A and B are shown apart, each in its own frame.
Chain A
């Protein structure tokens, strides 16, 4: 079987080799494949800081922006060199299962509950996120869920659970889209949704939504970078991944994260502590 697999691979490699020569990008430096969430990519943070890393280290970073679930899956399959996500429970499991090593909290932003400006569910006056969610479900108001197993989606489910609500009430829609798309849909439908602050600020100008609830420990959104266990996948670019992780926690980079703004607002708070 292995032999067959190898020979099929060889054959295909030969067939598509010519195709590779069309590649317009000269991959001079070594490549680091980073699987991360749409929130870091769509907000523009990675676009703002990674070129500096590439210039300093000579590595080139390829960003695969997806949901947290998919990003961790890619990591556990050995399809990427390093992952950066924001779902503490799933990340803990990822490490416990032996796929992820050296998790480092590098920054955080927070989740916010967004909704129509007239706030039909009166979520604004809630004392915490759980209460805000209960009010939305009780009305019932329209609520758009990412539904894509992303960090945001997992956080949302966590809050529903805390509120003792099964999210299948009338008005609850699971769209299976990234953060940006979900915001645009919530905007079109004038529905409530849970979003990370970074993406919201980046999209603010395009949205006719407002923050219905913010603050509280339940809505904290910490980002971790994790290396892939070299014992599981020895041939990944572990050196590059480590270099990226090390670079993200340097004081200079941490300052850059704090200084990254969109439309004058700070999106992320650098949080790395030794």
Chain B
């Protein structure tokens, strides 16, 4: 990845959260004293359905405000004054069911490129790499709404990858897809890890995905436990029956 130089040369970037408390109506969803998510981290975010994994990721992405607490970033190049205090666009959040914009695969893929100042060769390079990585060659002119679940997820990751984010959060990235797509997505995530992108990956099953991770955040009993030890597939096998066929449905 020649074009990813910018990642390695600059100071590692970081998102901090302090004294977070998130409530829905009057019920506490979760609270946590401190969280750090920085470039180079690969974090497995575990938690039951409804425990607030997506909410936490959206808070870190700047998409929603926590009920209490502060989230701030460090090390990013300052933006123009009028969006200077925004977290948006720093830790990029990918939905479990990605939203694809009305239009072709190519339109979606290049959506985020227009706001970056790139030379045309750099631009076409990135597009080429993204297409190869996600194996979208044959689909470029297809309408985005015609894609299968796996293809949608690949396109969504490629669409984020193309901006070369320093921090990326993937919400259940390999659920709802066929084996072939799962393998491709795993390979893409692995590539992102190699590039030094900070990754926060949620999943409620342990699998090849969690094996990539080096840290573990676990939302349990309305708090977030952090550790440097990632459970292996054997240690956390008491998954309930609904989760068992999660990865195989399409």
> Do A and B touch (CB < 8 Å)?
no
